[in-house]
Chain A
């Protein structure tokens, strides 16, 4: 299978890439290509020109600066899935990354690409919502910062102007008393997600949830926040009844669709279990980091 013909430009540095994007209205960005190239081959998408940013080493890094972890947009999913810093500081990122596609795709796929696709079945958008991450978009006009909440605007639509490149993702390192977990069900070992739930919560006074963010994948036009579910947990001890109620509210906030992979009803049922599991797992981690065990409560 061949894509339709296109012009190809491989810049030497970020400046050249931005210049090219600025001059060519038709140009689109090629990063790891693990979603874009299949789409071009199937001709569900076509492009006039591609700027291949894969060689830009300056966008491949993982750095800790104070309370934030900075991830260059071209960091591969494989790197995130195996990096020691990620593992110790933001374990949910690693947990989600190692569930993406398969190891061969992860070797080329990038985290920036995963986010910019704004595909609701991708895993990292929901995780970035739960982590309250900030994304940096760079253009010749400067750098624009936005919260993950405002980045995903619709199915396949991220809040990026035509001349902007997503260059960095800034993840606040969760503090003590914080736990996070990502749970998903996918079709087959390397298939698309049926549903996914990412939770990041912290505990005060030994047992009460004081902060909580929940992101959902594959159950709406884009990754969604489950705000009602978050409110149900905040200020409460997550007993099985509270967790069940929160999961129910997350299901109510979801807008799943019927497709080849799953029916709406099945997605809702699966989501309910996944939200419960991700809350429970996050809470256990938060308590363990706080020196308390769940069975003492």
Chain B
């Protein structure tokens, strides 16, 4: 079935079976392997992407449902020569251990920070419940998102 959507600013067209999941089309047809498959059962959030600006689990959406949508994956966040503030903050605050959950964490954080930039620590904890980290590195992840918020609010980068 012909399906057209925009991913990271580029128009794409794929011919897919209706039963294909969006995450597998992103990874296997379009080569966007930054989006990970963790649990494949709607629990872990490693496959989180933005669909029309909202963070969703791409293992729980059919590729054909993306027809006409505007999609952003983790590959679409950074500029040509600078990391996205959320990525920068994860580097500064060591927001990852094995890194498997990181694409989902970063995309969810970008979505949350696109809505508001006055999140408190407990609010962030509650709003990141859809993303699991099996290394249990949550402390640094929360610190990273708080740091990203600071950067977005005009805070200085470390070393400047």
A and B part of one assembly: yes
B129 contacts partner chain A, Cβ-Cβ < 8 Å: yes
Which residue of the partner chain A has the closest CB to B44?
A190
A209 contacts partner chain B, Cβ-Cβ < 8 Å: no
A33 contacts partner chain B, Cβ-Cβ < 8 Å: yes
Interface residues of A (CB under 8 A from B): 1-8, 10, 30, 33-34, 37-38, 40-42, 50, 52, 54, 78, 101-105, 107-108, 189-190
Q: Judge whether A34 and B129 touch: CB under 8 Å.
A: no
Q: Judge whether A6 and B19 touch: CB under 8 Å.
A: yes
A4 to B64 CA separation, bound complex (whole angstroms): 15
Tell which of A4, A6, A102, A107 touches B129, judged by Cβ atoms closer than 8 Å.
A102
CB distance from A80 to the nearest CB of B (A): 14
Q: Judge whether B48 and A54 touch: CB under 8 Å.
A: no
B70 contacts partner chain A, Cβ-Cβ < 8 Å: no
Q: Judge whether A108 and B56 touch: CB under 8 Å.
A: yes
Question: Chain A residues near B42 (CB, 8 Å)?
Answer: 34, 37-38, 105
- What is the number of contacts between chain A and chain B, taking CB atoms within 8 Å? 81
Between A and B, 28 residue pairs with Cβ closer than 8 Å are: A1-B21, A2-B21, A5-B19, A6-B19, A7-B18, A8-B18, A8-B62, A10-B65, A33-B60, A33-B65, A34-B60, A38-B42, A38-B60, A40-B19, A41-B41, A52-B62, A52-B64, A52-B65, A54-B65, A104-B45, A104-B56, A104-B57, A104-B108, A105-B42, A105-B60, A107-B55, A107-B56, A190-B129
A104 to B50 CA separation, bound complex (whole angstroms): 10
A28 to B21 CA separation, bound complex (whole angstroms): 18
Question: Chain A residues near B67 (CB, 8 Å)?
Answer: 10
CB distance from B136 to the nearest CB of A (A): 13
Asked if A37 meets B62 with Cβ closer than 8 Å, knowing A8-B18, A103-B127, A190-B130, the reply is yes
* Extra inter-chain contacts (20) besides given A2-B19, A34-B42, A190-B43, CB under 8 Å: A1-B41, A2-B21, A6-B19, A8-B1, A8-B62, A33-B62, A33-B65, A37-B60, A37-B61, A38-B41, A41-B21, A41-B40, A52-B65, A54-B65, A78-B54, A101-B130, A102-B129, A103-B55, A103-B108, A108-B57
CB distance from B94 to the nearest CB of A (A): 23
Question: Chain B residues near A105 (CB, 8 Å)?
Answer: 42, 57, 60, 130
CB distance from B118 to the nearest CB of A (A): 15
Which residue of the partner chain B has the closest CB to A34?
B60
Residue with the greatest number of chain A CB neighbours at <10 A, chosen from B42, B59, B129: B42
Question: Chain A residues near B45 (CB, 8 Å)?
Answer: 102, 104
Question: Chain B residues near A108 (CB, 8 Å)?
Answer: 54, 56-57, 60-61
Question: Chain B residues near A1 (CB, 8 Å)?
Answer: 21, 40-41
Within 8 A of A (CB), among B1-22: 1, 17-21
A54 to B60 CA separation, bound complex (whole angstroms): 14
Q: Judge whether B19 and A4 touch: CB under 8 Å.
A: yes
A268 to B49 CA separation, bound complex (whole angstroms): 39
Question: Chain B residues near A52 (CB, 8 Å)?
Answer: 62, 64-65
Within 8 A of A (CB), among B21-55: 21, 40-43, 45, 48, 54-55
A6 to B18 CA separation, bound complex (whole angstroms): 7
Which residue of the partner chain B has the closest CB to A108?
B56
Residue with the greatest number of chain B CB neighbours at <10 A, chosen from A10, A50, A101, A107: A107
Question: Chain A residues near B59 (CB, 8 Å)?
Answer: 41
Question: Chain B residues near A50 (CB, 8 Å)?
Answer: 18
Question: Chain B residues near A2 (CB, 8 Å)?
Answer: 19-21
